[in-house]
Structure 1
Amino acid sequence: MTDKNAYENIDPVTLGVIAGSFNSIAKEMALVLYRMAYSSIIRESEDLGAGLFDVDGNEICESDSTPMHIGSLPGYIDGVRHFLGDNINDGDIILHNNPYYGASHTPDLAIIIPIFYDGELVAFAANTGHVLDAGGMSPGLMVDVVDVYAEGKHYNAIKLYNKGEKNEEIWRHIFENVRTPKENKGDVEAMIASAKLGKRRYLELIERYGLQTVLAAQKRWMDYSEEMIRKEISKIPDGEYKAPTGWLDDDGRNYGERLRIETSVKINGSDLIVDLTGSSDQVETAYNVPFSGSTLPATYTIVRAILLDEAVSEVFIPQNSGIFKPIKVEAPLGSMWNPKAPAACTARINQVQRLADQINLALSEVLPDKTTAGNAAHVHFNSYAGIKEDSGDYWVYIEVNEGSYGGRYGKDGLDSVDNLVANTRNNPIEELEMRLPMRCNRYELREEGASAGKWRGGIGIVRTWEFITDSLFTGEGDRHTDPPRGVYGGQDGLTGSMTLNPNTDAEQNLHAKLTNFKIRKGDVLEIRTPCAGGYGNPHERDPQDVLEDVLDDFTSKEKAEEIYKVVIRDDLTIDEKATKQLREGSKVLNS
């Protein structure tokens, strides 16, 4: 319990120093985790999160990693409370991953360490990371599964250490029931080291400043974040702002049956509500979204990104539970965004990316200078697996293929980057080819170019994998049918695709979602990720920027003239007179 006097009397310098320490602790925790991890999805992609949490599970600070992980941890802690009640002791190390009790999805394991001071529970150090395999019906990832139990093992607040004593039998049971025991165990040990560091650093703060001062600082820090985001919400006129209906390709079993996304943002003073009523009901595959662990964090992340953009903010505004408090989500129980147990819900990353994009598009009506055109809002989240001939063990590789950002006011969209709520890194090809029976033959920007606008959309990637051995492939893809939206006259983007053995007699167009699809030795898989939408009338794009696009092969001379009304000579210079005439004629036609 925070002392009222300590809260009111903490001086700004002490508050700033302690708050800076919180941020440093979270970053250091994440650094330990990804440096120590065994699997490439954590070690290279940094598909992880780490931070400190108060005794009620409120987030104090978070690492600069995947926002989906951190925003979900308050839900994980609530889940731990549900299963353990008050049976939480000094020296406990708790493992949890149940998506119906706070987890973001089954493969995202969390390690939670309670922090005690003078015999009293005062905080938690916690982190999450995506492990290679959770022991489900499919190695790595899966979409077409019968229920949440088929996704993998659920650890309902399991104590790996109880009052400081290691539970050897639990450890043996957990890691003998997955396909990648060495990697999973190494990742969990890295997570424990990270959380232990967070605990140690937090206790050092208490020893230096006193318990009540630290508690006061963390509450003031959260209140400050809440105050700052409420101030930005209050600037938006009260009302309801609705995004165009969005469509997901299908549920990974009933191919071609698209899933509806309805999104509106309601502003009432300093409160913001995202209403998802009218979206598709939950589906019979794993293409559902855990409400607490994924729907809520995705919403928090995009609202904060739009309203409190660090790149343009004059002051530092920390990310913590204060950001979450003014934001609510309405999603009917039994919908895709809030499924009923025991519906499977492990394949949820593309839906939350699209949710973030829909919120962005809804607010573009009233915040044109803070929002983007339609983003790729997608990842071809893929897993590859097989059996090692020498040992009979599984190899599993999980890959995040990047997308692109939509153009925004004053800036072109970013190319070839994970976007919106995922924020993961790509894996180095050289490192993968040393470890896995796969060879990357092509990895570059899509040759079709950028979507036109006053500020162009970002460009997605094309990647081709050649397989050295028979493999099982699972893809959690989407956006093969519904392109990113252009805004304010900008062009729509391009959809993604997957093709097996392109430009051969054996060419086969693949669905975005596949589970345990067999790829044979010698096959080649081509992945194309979406290109984002353009922002603003292409005829208003600076001709010099159009020329730069031609020089960069982002557009052609012919398209420059047809779409941008910019005439470029054979010597790659701008014909300013012809361009002026063409654009003036276009204005007459448009009027």
Structure 2
Amino acid sequence: MENKKVDPITMQVISGALDTIAEEMGHVLYRMSFSSIIRESQDLGAGLFDRNYQTICESESTPMHIGSIPAYLRGVEKTLQGGEWHEGDVVVHNHPYYGSSHTPDLAIIIPVFYEGELVGFSANTAHHIDIGAATPGLIIDVGDVYAEGMLFAGLKLYEKGKKNEGLEKMITANSRASQQLMRDIEAQVASAQLGVKRFTQLLDKYGMERTFTAIDQLIDYSEQMLRNKIAEIPDGEYQATGFLDDDGRNREERLPVVVTVKVQGDSVTVDLTGSAKQTPTAYNVPFEGSCKVAAFAGFRKLLLDASQLDVPIPSNEGSFRPINVVAPEGSIFNPIFPAAAEARFTQCNMMIDLIIKALSPVMPEKVIAGSSAAISFASYAGMKDDGDYWVFLEVNEGAYGGRPNSDGPDSIDNLMANTRNNPIEDLGMHLPMICDRYELRDDVMPGAGKHRGGIGVVKAQRVLSPGFITHESERHYHVPWGAFGGSDGAVGKCEIYNYDSQDTVNNMPSKFSGYATKANDVMAFYAPCGGGYGNPLERSPEQVREDVLDDFCTVQHAYEAYGVVLDKNLEIDRLATAARRSEMGA
């Protein structure tokens, strides 16, 4: 292939076409799926990849999926059934020690052949509600990867266009939600097939040489843009440390996360040396498919924020190249086979939060204060009257920290998540559940600052029949940090009680597996609140008063944290406020 440059206009047209293909693949996947975690929450990723497994384009879905599929492809190369790709092949893959992000994220991969030559791959990933693990939906407290459910390593669901009926039967026989699982996989196949079709059409229109030359230029462009941003950071080593609550079994043992960001010229290394050793539970992070992807996501957020750029930077392989990740083997971020590694998400969020904190001294205008930096991922399950299982996965919102120019957003996925909330109406339509409460927390205050931290959500879900709950969350002890004079936020909590006897409350740890519920048991999750950014005394009294009127702040907190005095009519007492702020400033 000759090394000829594609003109800028054609390159932009091809770039737009590639972005549209990825977005259309993602759209087809969630519109065709049956389980709510894909259909409503859109916990998925989709895109095209070249034959060297470089990302060409990916859907702007959840950042946890962006950048993970190349690791899947490298794992498939080592495990591919038959050792060769053929037209009509469809591979299913989820092995965490061969590149997957974690076992419930199944990838569907279809090779793209053009004029008889393998030129790339169309692939997607999606989180499935049950793949037959020891507990329904999610799993934390297990001893090895085999207890996480079915492991697929380079298996062909279709070979040369012929369906592997035995594999499909094996899948359906090993899931509590077999119909939804297979229908969701079929949606993934349809999405990947669409990617093959659209990519082939693009090659027909522009030719293989011009198309791939444009792709290479786009990848180089993304790489150079990120390198330019990294080069603006002063060279040096920047470190921050945080702590995870526990591993899901050993409740009193806090797990350190140590992040050292090493900036040298236009490249950066994220070194996790000093972080906790791998755990005896599933609270570990697959290195290739999740740990590295978290670092990629962190720097895209810091340096390639679309709202801060004149022209958005394409999500492709170029935005991964300048970032190196180091995690010692045997650590929580690089476990050794066969350690379990399903519950890997909150650690990734903590890593990103600490990357931001480490760089805050040299990037004050780019960083935010501490966020909830966790995910509340809950699995509710039980038996139907006909003896079949029902399983429901739900992602609950957290909160961002205060920002250089605005408050932290309330009740929102953050740092490495972009899943949508599941409509509460969906519960009554499909499941024996009722949402009793869904609102912003009012039991604690977010971090005070010139720009306050975001307020976490509280959600209370009631199950109407006996069953099981598994919950993965974090930050019951390690409070989100305040930045540049802002105060710390607030930790989260989780409670379980019965609707008919609400005075008896079980205070739950941040993560637990297979909690047996009775009819009318309620799990109430309270998300952490973000830290404040900047001196609280620099927040205008008018803003503080507005927060009080909106029930985002109490009168007492306005006085204690912001030095704002409100009278009985909630009007600002100017003289008293000036005196109080003078006293606090002194």
Query: Do these two structures clear the TM 0.5 threshold for a shared fold by scoring above it?
Result: yes
2:450: which partner in 1? 454
Q: Which of 494, 516, 521 matches 1:523? A: 521
2:95: which partner in 1? 98
After superposition, what is the alpha-carbon deviation per residue over 1:281-319, rounded to whole angstroms, capped at 9, x for unaligned?
A: 000000000000100111101111101111111112111
Q: Which of 21, 45, 66 matches 2:17? A: 21
Counterparts of 1:62 and 1:285, CA distance in 2: 32
In the TM superposition, residue 572 of structure 1 has moved relative to its aligned partner by: 2.5
**Is residue 199 of structure 1 aligned with residue 196 of structure 2?**
yes
Q: Which of 283, 287, 292 matches 2:288? A: 292
**Is residue 210 of structure 1 aligned with residue 207 of structure 2?**
yes
1:162: which partner in 2? 159
Does the 8 Å CA contact 2:248/2:283 hold for their aligned counterparts?
A: yes
In the TM superposition, residue 579 of structure 1 has moved relative to its aligned partner by: 2.3
Counterparts of 1:559 and 1:280, CA distance in 2: 37
2:404: which partner in 1? 409
Q: Which amino acid aligns with 2:568?
A: D
Q: Which of 130, 133, 158 matches 2:130? A: 133
Does the 8 Å CA contact 1:51/1:70 hold for their aligned counterparts?
A: no
Spell out the pairing of 1:57-206 with structure 2 (5 A cutoff).
57-84=53-80, 87-206=84-203
In the TM superposition, residue 576 of structure 1 has moved relative to its aligned partner by: 2.7
Does the 8 Å CA contact 1:70/1:127 hold for their aligned counterparts?
A: no
* Unaligned stretches of 5+ residues in structure 2: none
**Is residue 420 of structure 1 aligned with residue 415 of structure 2?**
yes
2:392: which partner in 1? 397
Spell out the pairing of 1:237-252 with structure 2 (5 A cutoff).
237-243=234-240, 245-252=241-248
Does the 8 Å CA contact 1:381/1:477 hold for their aligned counterparts?
A: yes
Spell out the pairing of 1:45-64 with structure 2 (5 A cutoff).
45-64=41-60
**Is residue 277 of structure 1 aligned with residue 273 of structure 2?**
yes
Q: Which amino acid aligns with 2:391?
A: V
In the TM superposition, residue 571 of structure 1 has moved relative to its aligned partner by: 2.4
2:351: which partner in 1? 355
Please state whether the residue corresponding to 2:45 is helix, strand or coil: strand
Query: Which 10-residue stretch deviates more, 218-227 or 558-567?
Result: 558-567
Q: Which amino acid aligns with 2:130?
A: D
**Is residue 473 of structure 1 aligned with residue 469 of structure 2?**
yes
1:235: which partner in 2? 232
Please state whether the residue corresponding to 1:501 is helix, strand or coil: strand
Q: Which of 320, 326, 347 matches 1:324? A: 320
1:578: which partner in 2? 576
Spell out the pairing of 1:493-504 with structure 2 (5 A cutoff).
493-501=489-497, 504=502
Counterparts of 2:502 and 2:163, CA distance in 1: 56
- After superposing on structure 2, the runs of 4+ consecutive aligned residues of structure 1 that deviate more than 4 Å are none
In the TM superposition, residue 522 of structure 1 has moved relative to its aligned partner by: 2.1
Please state whether the residue corresponding to 2:67 is helix, strand or coil: helix
1:563: which partner in 2? 561
After superposition, what is the alpha-carbon deviation per residue over 1:45-97, rounded to whole angstroms, capped at 9, x for unaligned?
A: 10000011111111011111111113110000001111128501111111000
Q: Which of 440, 444, 448 matches 1:445? A: 440
Counterparts of 1:70 and 1:163, CA distance in 2: 28
**Is residue 268 of structure 1 aligned with residue 264 of structure 2?**
yes
Counterparts of 1:399 and 1:585, CA distance in 2: 47
In the TM superposition, residue 504 of structure 1 has moved relative to its aligned partner by: 3.5
1:385: which partner in 2? 381
Query: Which 10-residue stretch deviates more, 575-584 or 210-219?
Result: 575-584
In the TM superposition, residue 539 of structure 1 has moved relative to its aligned partner by: 0.7
Does the 8 Å CA contact 1:449/1:553 hold for their aligned counterparts?
A: no
Counterparts of 2:516 and 2:34, CA distance in 1: 26
Please state whether the residue corresponding to 1:300 is helix, strand or coil: helix
In the TM superposition, residue 505 of structure 1 has moved relative to its aligned partner by: 4.0
Q: Which amino acid aligns with 1:454?
A: K
In the TM superposition, residue 580 of structure 1 has moved relative to its aligned partner by: 2.6
1:256: which partner in 2? 252
After superposition, what is the alpha-carbon deviation per residue over 1:198-247, rounded to whole angstroms, capped at 9, x for unaligned?
A: 1111000110000001101111000000000000000001001111x211
Please state whether the residue corresponding to 1:578 is helix, strand or coil: helix
After superposition, what is the alpha-carbon deviation per residue over 1:87-123, rounded to whole angstroms, capped at 9, x for unaligned?
A: 0111111100000001000000000010001111101
Counterparts of 1:420 and 1:302, CA distance in 2: 7
In the TM superposition, residue 264 of structure 1 has moved relative to its aligned partner by: 1.2
**Is residue 510 of structure 1 aligned with residue 505 of structure 2?**
no
Counterparts of 1:237 and 1:485, CA distance in 2: 23
Q: Which of 430, 436, 439 matches 2:431? A: 436
Please state whether the residue corresponding to 1:581 is helix, strand or coil: helix
Q: Which amino acid aligns with 1:538?
A: P
| TM-score for both structures, normalised by structure 2 | 0.98
Counterparts of 1:86 and 1:119, CA distance in 2: 18
1:33: which partner in 2? 29
Please state whether the residue corresponding to 1:421 is helix, strand or coil: coil
Counterparts of 2:220 and 2:66, CA distance in 1: 18
Please state whether the residue corresponding to 1:69 is helix, strand or coil: coil
Does the 8 Å CA contact 2:447/2:453 hold for their aligned counterparts?
A: yes
Counterparts of 2:435 and 2:274, CA distance in 1: 42
Counterparts of 2:354 and 2:420, CA distance in 1: 23
Q: Which of 366, 388, 405 matches 1:370? A: 366
**Is residue 483 of structure 1 aligned with residue 473 of structure 2?**
no
Q: Which amino acid aligns with 2:246?
A: D
Does the 8 Å CA contact 1:135/1:179 hold for their aligned counterparts?
A: yes
Please state whether the residue corresponding to 1:475 is helix, strand or coil: strand
Counterparts of 1:42 and 1:489, CA distance in 2: 40
Counterparts of 2:254 and 2:136, CA distance in 1: 26
Query: Which 10-residue stretch deviates more, 51-60 or 168-177?
Result: 168-177
Query: Aligned Cα RMSD in Å?
Result: 1.2
Please state whether the residue corresponding to 1:122 is helix, strand or coil: strand
Q: Which amino acid aligns with 2:162?
A: E
Counterparts of 1:507 and 1:566, CA distance in 2: 36
Counterparts of 1:159 and 1:266, CA distance in 2: 41
Counterparts of 1:136 and 1:253, CA distance in 2: 17
In the comparison of the two structures, how many residue pairs are matched? 582
Please state whether the residue corresponding to 2:426 is helix, strand or coil: helix
Counterparts of 2:194 and 2:58, CA distance in 1: 14
Does the 8 Å CA contact 1:73/1:103 hold for their aligned counterparts?
A: yes
